[in-house]
Structure 1
Amino acid sequence: MLNLDGIWEFAWTKDVTETPNYDSFAAVPGCFDAEGLRFNQRGVGWYRRKISVSAAKNSLKIGASGLHTVVFLDGRKLNESYLAWSPLTTVFTADPGEHELVIRIDNFILDHPLFMDRYDFYGFGGVFDHVTLEEVMEPEIRTLEILPLDHTTGEILLRIETAAPLLKIAFDGGAEQIFENTRELRLKVPDFQVWSPEHPFLHTVRVNERTVEFGIRTLDWSGPRLKLNGQEIKLLGVNRHESHPEFGPATPESLIVSDLLRIKQAGLNFIRGSHYTQR
């Protein structure tokens, strides 16, 4: 996997019909309207850079962006999304070698249910999260779902969507297990640790080329009280916006960690992400 974060060529236009003139630079992740001359300005940000691919099939992932994102490769439109703050994955084919990648983002408020003219927060424009590029292995793992079943035994359920005839599965970098023609598996995680607010331990599972983090915990509300891992728990928390006066939703990891530490130091155990996917 190649991380494409860093300084990209940048152009600013008033609308999408203007030809971009890449006479500036911008940081990725970053918001183009968070500060400086474009503070609170509505318009179009064009991010451009060169990429090199060696495989015929590749996957470009934008962790989050908004408000309206369009992806181009060598001038060819590959993908488009109006789902701000959400991941955007673009699988594409290209000849091996160097190509021009452009991510066009506008922050216009449209006559659309997702873009009302009055938010209870400001709708920033830009690339909010990391951008990565990786080769797509064939046949690929299309979806990988992990459901913890028993916090006392470490048993989990894996649901896998793929055309691969063989699955190579490994937990936490350990030994591989090989399974044939399987789309659902019940497995026990070796040397498992239970997840809780006091001990938020995450395991990893790798299925062929896909790796996912997960926590082993169970929730139950069959009685009058919510139970986590069989024990009653009272949720004490806060509403949190992924927004900052200097960075918008492209918040540096250091500030995210600072928020989490403050929440923990206040004796809280719950965060409501208001009102969108957060990093």
Structure 2
Amino acid sequence: MLAALPPVVVAPLDVTFDRVSILLGQFYSGGIVLVTDPGRLAPVLVRGGDITGVSERNFDETIYLTVTEAAPVVAGLGALAATGMVTAAGTLGERPAGGVARTLRAVGERVRSRLVALGSSPAGVADAFCLTSGVLFLLLYLPVLPLHAQVTVRYLLVLYPLAVYGMARQAPLRRALGTHWRAALWTWVGGVLVGAQLFVAGVTAGSLARGEAMQVHAFAGLAVAGAFSALAAATVVTDRGDRAVAVAGGLAAALGTDFLLLSGLVYFQYGQYALPAAGWVADLLAVA
């Protein structure tokens, strides 16, 4: 078919097809890895530590942190998971009489109607765009992750704002943080002003190497992330722990801030920050 077209048209089309096939091939490779080796997600999103093939190339220093270890606040997506499970349980729980076939048809109709309603609203379209973007970024880089020569999973940096958006879209989490925002704010302030000093004091007193110091941040981040995730999930069914959710969220955000600041001021000396604001804050603190 292309042979019948003039060369001036065929050449750009060939280049376009090549580029598209390369891009789609990357997503396809990521999908294959996700299906055949789902355990690859754990050292990317949850727990890093001493990973074979990564630590050795980092001069045997365990400086690699996962998405959750570097920014425990993303664990607030536990509210999203809980919302999904509660919604699914409610949908499956409405069983009409008439056997399994009729039940499956009814469930399918409810799911379809909810998807149609979601796609017809601006918020639903934004949700779908953010979810698709996050999944595509993950699939694009999953075949080569985890990777050495990086402190965090910097190739998945876009997942952080998407995670914040996902948390902001959860009404129970908005209720908890909106009602007890002062508790969250003061916990964050205390976690940054006091927590950073505690990290420095602990690293200095223990004469910890760079990799050991990074793992202190990793374990602290995972502990707080676990608590924040569980409490955020609980907000879907009860409001009794809203203050605890706000405190845990503020502490999770503080740990991420501590890690960012200490990485630039104490552990490493970056040439240029991926986020310029981080460099400005680090420079201001260094001058102060």
The TM-score by the shorter chain falls in which range? under 0.3
For CA contacts below 8 A with separation 6 or more, give which structure has more relative contact order. 2
Compare CA radii of gyration and give the structure with the larger one. Answer: 2
Structure whose residues are more often helix by fraction: 2
How does the TM-score come out when normalised to structure 1? 0.21
